[in-house]
Structure 1
């Protein structure tokens, strides 16, 4: 399954708690679209959120976000994991 990093550009001041709630909403919807949101990172000062997701396509990943909470990614990058 392809691995993507998506990026959301929100207003500064977005909180970890806000993102945790949105992530929980993603998890409740993702199976319908064969998507697996794995992890997320938040830069509260810059208002940026980064999500690591396995998905059949960028559109499938954003469909989950759209249905779960409406905050679709501004960027979606195909990535490969390294160590």
Structure 2
């Protein structure tokens, strides 16, 4: 299944605790769209959140965020894993 990295830009910064709560909502809702959120990263000071998921499409990953809590990503990229 393809992997997607989505990027959220949050004006004024964000706390890791707030993002953890949103991530829990994603996990509870992800099955509806056959999405699996794998990991996320937070830059609190810059207000940036990065979410890695496996999803059938970018639209499916976006739908989970929209329906679970409304914090839709500003950008989303299909990514590959290389070493």
TM-score scaled to structure 1, two decimals? 0.96
Which has the higher mean CA deviation after the structures are superposed, 8-17 or 43-52? Answer: 8-17
Cα offset, 1:82, TM superposition: 2.0
Distance in 1 between residues matched to 2:13 and 2:47, nearest whole Å: 6
Aligned CA-pair RMSD: 0.7
> Which ranges in structure 1 are unaligned for 5 or more consecutive residues?
none
Q: Answer yes or no: is 1:53 the counterpart of 2:53.
A: yes
> Which ranges in structure 2 are unaligned for 5 or more consecutive residues?
none
Distance in 1 between residues matched to 2:22 and 2:14, nearest whole Å: 12
Partner of 1:79: 79
Distance in 2 between residues matched to 1:31 and 1:76, nearest whole Å: 19
Distance in 1 between residues matched to 2:40 and 2:62, nearest whole Å: 15
Partner of 1:70, secondary structure, is coil
TM-score scaled to structure 2, two decimals? 0.96
